[in-house]
């Protein structure tokens, strides 16, 4: 494994475009495979032609999203701080932060799994589960979240930590390997080992096993690179962490987790409003939310690859290189988003059919679900460019340690714009109003994000 001194050239002197791609390409790959992690179940389940199974897994996805929030709390909060500490040549402190992030992730994952187990049915009922979808949602949540929360959160957290010290490829291999294994195990458990009608349970078991394998691999990698890199899983390091580092970790980690948690809140309101229109609309929206994650996965991967370089150079006070990185990444991301919009608009129906088959099951319900999904996706994909601007500015703020700005942006984006707009447009235009709310709210959120980033740069004399 390369020493961190061998990695400094990537942060300090490598040409900007090459440095971004070096970090971003494996990160984008891991995001795409992570997308496969979360969507391959839906794809296989959708082939059963049972809209209620699809709706049940879609509702369970909201519970799943909170695990990403917890991983961001310690992965992005700790990872961005570690990158800044390396930039300030404080490698020993970075190891303490790494240990704190690791064990914090274990503790919060265990607590979340326990709470979900104790209140599973009331939670799913609140999310909009009906008599038709409750069983499927419970099966998926029990396996993937209640049994598998710790390996899931640890996989995502350790991948963030590895990426922020320059080991983006190793992090990508860990997440990608789990996704590939999931693809292989899904049909085995869904269509071979378990009887017909248990497709959701089979998919959940396959995902659980895949997450455990991914976690084991990433833990082995982290143990190996910790010999040379400023990473550690040693609990003894917890005694050496400075209070100021804990505060700095949470200053970024909490807003990052809140941002992801607020996405979950937004999805809760989205599901509840959509459920008022019917189970088929819920199923269609679940399909769309998975399909539209492709451009999001690419752009989030790009931003996560950019973050360590921005954080390092911000801490090292190399503001010229930092600005060059943010500008280049913004141009790349907008180009990707626009290309994705065109591709989705051209191939909307084939994309939807990947996630749902209308050739089996109840033909009337299947055809209606397909029609809803095509209509919804045609509209929601238009939000991709402004969504990227939100991600880009937010990740820049997190890289530079501006937790306050990140939190303000998160609250405005979801609670001030998205949720109220869904209700307002639903009242006027019905279901299509809910769909259009994403574009309008993301555009307003992007304006707020760009303003907050400019204000922070001026405050730090880094414009």
Worst-scoring range by mean pLDDT, 79-83, 293-297, 322-326, 456-460?
293-297
If one counts every other C-beta atom within 10 angstroms of the C-beta of residue 367, the result is 13
| pLDDT for residue 108 | 94
Q: Is the dihedral of CA 124, 130, 136, 139 positive or negative?
A: positive
Backbone angles phi, psi at 358, to 5 degrees: -95, 10
Location of structure tokens 């009337």? 364
What is the mean pLDDT of the segment spanning 441-448? 95
From 433, 51, 437, 60, select the one nearest 278 (Cα to Cα): 51
pLDDT above 90 covers a percentage of the chain that reads 34
Half-sphere CA count of 37, side-chain side, radius 13 A: 31
Rounded to an integer, what distance in angstroms lies between the CA atom of residue 97 and that of residue 253? 12
Q: Is the dihedral of CA 264, 268, 273, 277 positive or negative?
A: positive
What is the mean pLDDT of the segment spanning 3-22? 76
Contact 379/292 with Cβ under 8 angstroms?
A: no
Confidence of residue 197 (pLDDT cuts 50, 70, 90): confident
Question: Which structure tokens are listed for 140?
Answer: 């998926």
Question: Which structure tokens are listed for 271?
Answer: 């599901």
- pTM greater than 0.75: yes
| pLDDT for residue 2 | 47
- Per residue in 338-385, pLDDT tens? 998 999 999 988 888 877 666 555 677 778 888 888 899 999 999 999
Q: To the nearest whole number, what is the mean pLDDT of the chain? A: 86
Worst-scoring range by mean pLDDT, 146-160, 161-175, 201-215, 389-403?
161-175
SS3 26: helix
From 346, 372, 392, select the one nearest 435 (Cα to Cα): 372
Confidence of residue 462 (pLDDT cuts 50, 70, 90): low
| pLDDT for residue 1 | 43
- Per residue in 421-440, pLDDT tens? 999 999 999 999 999 999 99
What is the mean pLDDT of the segment spanning 376-397? 92
Question: Which structure tokens are listed for 143?
Answer: 């396996």
Contact 245/83 with Cβ under 8 angstroms?
A: no
What is the mean pLDDT of the segment spanning 292-296? 81
Per-residue CA distances from 149 to 33, 71, 125 (Å): 19, 11, 21
- Per residue in 87-129, pLDDT tens? 888 888 889 999 999 999 999 999 999 999 999 888 888 877 7
| pLDDT for residue 362 | 66
Buried b / exposed e over 172-189, threshold 16 CB at 10 Å, is bbbbbbbbbbbbebbbeb
What is the mean pLDDT of the segment spanning 227-233? 86
Residue 4 scores a pLDDT above 70: no
Residue 219 scores a pLDDT above 90: yes
């Amino acid at each position: 494994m390369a020493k961190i001194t061998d990695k400094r050239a990537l942060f300090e002197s490598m040409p900007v475009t090459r440095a971004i791609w070096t970090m971003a390409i494996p990160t984008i790959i891991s995001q795409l495979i992570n997308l496969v992690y979360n969507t391959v179940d839906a794809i296989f389940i959708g082939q059963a032609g049972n809209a209620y199974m699809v709706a049940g897994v879609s509702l369970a996805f909201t519970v799943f999203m909170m695990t990403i929030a917890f991983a961001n709390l310690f992965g992005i909060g700790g990872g961005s701080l570690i990158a800044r500490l390396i930039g300030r040549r404080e490698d020993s402190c970075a190891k303490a932060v790494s240990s704190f992030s690791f064990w914090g992730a274990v503790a919060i994952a265990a607590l979340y799994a326990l709470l979900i187990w104790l209140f599973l049915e009331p939670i799913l009922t609140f999310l909009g589960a009906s008599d038709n979808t409750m069983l499927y949602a419970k099966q998926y949540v029990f396996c993937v979240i209640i049994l598998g929360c710790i390996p899931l959160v640890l996989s995502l957290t350790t991948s963030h930590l590895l990426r922020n010290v320059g080991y983006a490829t190793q992090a990508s291999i860990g997440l990608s390997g789990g996704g590939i294994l999931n693809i292989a195990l899904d049909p085995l458990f869904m269509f071979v080992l378990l009887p017909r009608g248990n497709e959701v349970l089979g998919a959940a078991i396959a995902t659980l096993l895949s997450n455990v394998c991914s976690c084991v691999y990433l833990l082995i990698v982290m143990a190996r690179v910790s010999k040379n890199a400023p990473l550690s899983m040693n609990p003894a390091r917890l005694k050496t962490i400075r209070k100021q580092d804990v505060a700095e970790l949470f200053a970024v980690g909490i807003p990052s987790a809140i941002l992801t948690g607020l996405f979950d809140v937004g999805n809760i309101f989205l599901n509840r409003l959509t459920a008022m229109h019917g189970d088929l609309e819920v199923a269609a929206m679940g399909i769309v939310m998975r399909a539209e994650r492709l451009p999001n996965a690419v752009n989030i991967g790009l931003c996560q690859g950019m973050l360590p370089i921005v954080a390092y150079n911000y801490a090292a006070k190399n503001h010229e290189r930092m600005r060059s990185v943010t500008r280049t990444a913004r141009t790349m991301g907008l180009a990707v988003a626009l290309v994705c919009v065109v591709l989705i608009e051209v191939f909307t129906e084939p994309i939807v059919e990947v996630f749902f088959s209308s050739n089996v099951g109840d033909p009337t319900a299947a055809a209606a679900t397909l029609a809803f999904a095509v209509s919804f996706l045609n509209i929601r994909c238009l939000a991709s460019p402004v969504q990227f601007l939100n991600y880009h500015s937010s990740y820049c703020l997190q890289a530079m340690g501006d937790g306050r700005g990140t939190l303000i942006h998160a609250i405005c984006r979801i609670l001030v714009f998205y949720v109220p707009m869904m209700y307002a447009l639903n009242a006027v235009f019905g279901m299509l109003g809910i769909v259009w709310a994403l574009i309008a709210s993301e555009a307003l959120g992007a304006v707020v994000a760009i303003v907050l980033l400019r204000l922070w740069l001026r405050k730090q004399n880094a414009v």
